Amino acid sequence: MRMFFWRTLVCALFFIIAASPHARGGGEPPQSAIPTPESVLGYTVGSDFELANYEQSLEYFQQLAAASDRVELRRIGETSFGRPWYLALISSAENLRDPKRYRETAPRLPAPTALGLALCRGLLMVPGPGSN
């Protein structure tokens, strides 16, 4: 029962993030090309007596990743039922092209006082388009 709760929570968070205006920005295909949860699941997320199962949730994220350069699915292991377990990375296309940078930066940020405020700001700054 506890595992079901966490899977449901993770799926719900993914749907919320994917539907947020911040997840849809520049560089996206036209809005009509991005599948909505309703178009894949066949019902509105949050409808009474409707809950997406594993296969439906995975199908939605696979379609979303295929339609958008801002979503990437990564297989991270297996579920307790032996099914493939995926992580959905949702960010700008630019950030998804350079995951190594963020993997190297992330461990340095938990103790920002040890790094100094200026260095922390420098680690988090991302140059804008056209800057070198």
CB burial class (10 A; 0-12, 13-18, 19+) of residue 85? middle
Average model confidence (pLDDT) across the chain: 76
Q: Which residues have a Cβ under 8 Å from the Cβ of 68 and sit 6 or more positions away? A: 28, 29, 34
Q: How many domains does the chain have?
A: 2
Q: What is the pLDDT of residues 97-127, one digit of tens each?
A: 888 887 887 776 666 566 666 666 666 664 5
Task: Please check whether residues 119 and 89 belong to one and the same domain.
Answer: no
**In terms of pTM, does the model score above 0.85?**
no
Return the closest-CA partner of residue 102 out of 130, 72, 79, 75.
Answer: 72
53 and 112 inside one domain: no
Q: Are residues 81 and 40 in the same domain?
A: yes
Same domain, 112 and 125: yes
**Cα–Cα distance list, 123 to 107, 114, 117 (Å):** 11, 14, 10
Residue numbers of the domain that contains 108: 98-132
Residues 55, 20: Cα–Cα separation, whole Å: 23
75 and 107 co-located in one domain: no
At residue 56, the pLDDT reads 94
- The reply to whether 102 and 85 lie within a common domain is no
Verify that 103 and 89 share a domain, yes or no.
Answer: no
Judgement on whether residues 82 and 112 belong to the same structural domain of the protein: no
CA distance 68 to 28: 6
Looking at the structure, tell me whether residues 60 and 82 fall in a common domain.
Answer: yes
